[in-house]
Amino acid sequence: MKEFQNKVAVITGAASGIGRALAERSVQEGMKVVLADIQDEALTETAAILQHKGGTVLCVKTDVSRAEEMEKLAQETLRAFGGVHLLFNNAGVGAGGTIWESTLDEWEWVLGVNLWGVIHGLRLFVPIMMAQDTGSHIVNSASLAGLLPYHPSAPYQVTKQGIVALSEQLYYSLKQWKAPINVSVLCPGAVRTGIMDGMQQTPPEWQSNTAVLEAPSQTKPDYAAALASMRRATAMGMSPKLVAEHVFAAIRDERFYILTHPEFNTAVHARMQSVLLGQNPPDLSRVIGYCLK
């Protein structure tokens, strides 16, 4: 896509962080915007900001982990605007620690939002885009955790690696079908978002026994240090607005991999090289704490 004026963007996780920045940039580009998020107040606030800037906005409260709510999002988008040209599968949460310390609820919640949310978005919106037979683009939000061998949250890392694989599979499938749809996967490092406070977004029935990146720190001191490092990194991270600039540049260039933090390219290269050489995963512990979008 080179031109965005009067086209339609659908953004999940749109009420804050990278999602809100993508929505603001979409309005700036003259697009009609569909905002999807589970947070009512933040969704309303974001819509008001965009409307004040002259944006045409539709809000759809959506739990991306639930197929029926994503189906409603697609239906509402078509009812309001008749199509979709730019899809941002952006909603994401972080929870859990090691594979065995993470609770079943944490695994189900993080996989549900981060991975199933993307799957639902693709399953529903790709057929719409294909039927339109006009140029469109999909951006799936992963993380540097999707390219590196370790992250303190096992559920988070598994979902982000899954999103990278899912995006690559989608890219090649669309090429085989000769569909006029381009794909990108966003793999940022630390960004100033509220992902570390994602506990506030958990379903009510899980809040009593779900501790976002906290419980394991009580049994493993190294984990507490990693958690503190991630909090510092996000507090000092890249602005969501700058991430949105990287994303729109990549869309215009039809670029698949969007790596916004080149200072970590050496670490990504070390991981890839270890795969090619059949070596054990490299020790990248010094940089891992900064790989949370």
Orientation of helix 17-28 relative to helix 40-52, angle to 10°? 20
Res 214: pLDDT: 47
- Residue 96 domain-assigned (yes or no): yes
Lowest-confidence region among 144-158, 201-215, 243-257: 201-215
- Domain of 48, CATH number, reads 3.40.50.720
* Residue 110, pLDDT above cutoff 60: yes
Alpha helices in the chain (DSSP H): 17-28, 40-52, 67-81, 104-110, 117-132, 154-176, 221-235, 240-253, 265-276, 285-288
- Residue 161 domain-assigned (yes or no): yes
Mean pLDDT of 42-50: 96
- Residue 197 domain-assigned (yes or no): yes
257 is an active site residue: no
Contact 56, 77 (CB under 8 A): no
- Residue 3 domain-assigned (yes or no): no
- Residue 152 domain-assigned (yes or no): yes
Res 198: pLDDT: 54
In order, the DSSP letters of 60-82 are EE--TT-HHHHHHHHHHHHHHHS
- Spell out the residues 6+ positions from residue 131 whose beta carbon is closer than 8 angstroms to its own: none
User: pLDDT tens digit string along 209-230?
Assistant: 444 444 444 455 565 666 666 6
- Residue 136 domain-assigned (yes or no): yes
The whole-angstrom separation of Cα 273 and Cα 195 is: 30
Domain that holds residue 188: 8-288
pLDDT above 70 coverage of the chain, percent? 83
Contact 105, 206 (CB under 8 A): yes
Sheet with 32-37, side-by-side order of all strands: 56-61, 32-37, 8-12, 86-89, 136-141, 181-186, 257-258
Q: If pLDDT is split at 50, 70 and 90, which confidence band does 200 have?
A: very low
* Number of domains composing the chain: 1
Six-digit token pair at 200?
Answer: 């506030």
User: pLDDT tens digit string along 162-186?
Assistant: 999 999 999 999 999 999 999 999 9
- Residue 1 domain-assigned (yes or no): no
Contact 110, 81 (CB under 8 A): no
Of 150, 156, 257, 290, the catalytic one is 156
- Higher-pLDDT residue of 5 and 214 is 5
* Residue 207, pLDDT above cutoff 80: no
- Residue 241 domain-assigned (yes or no): yes
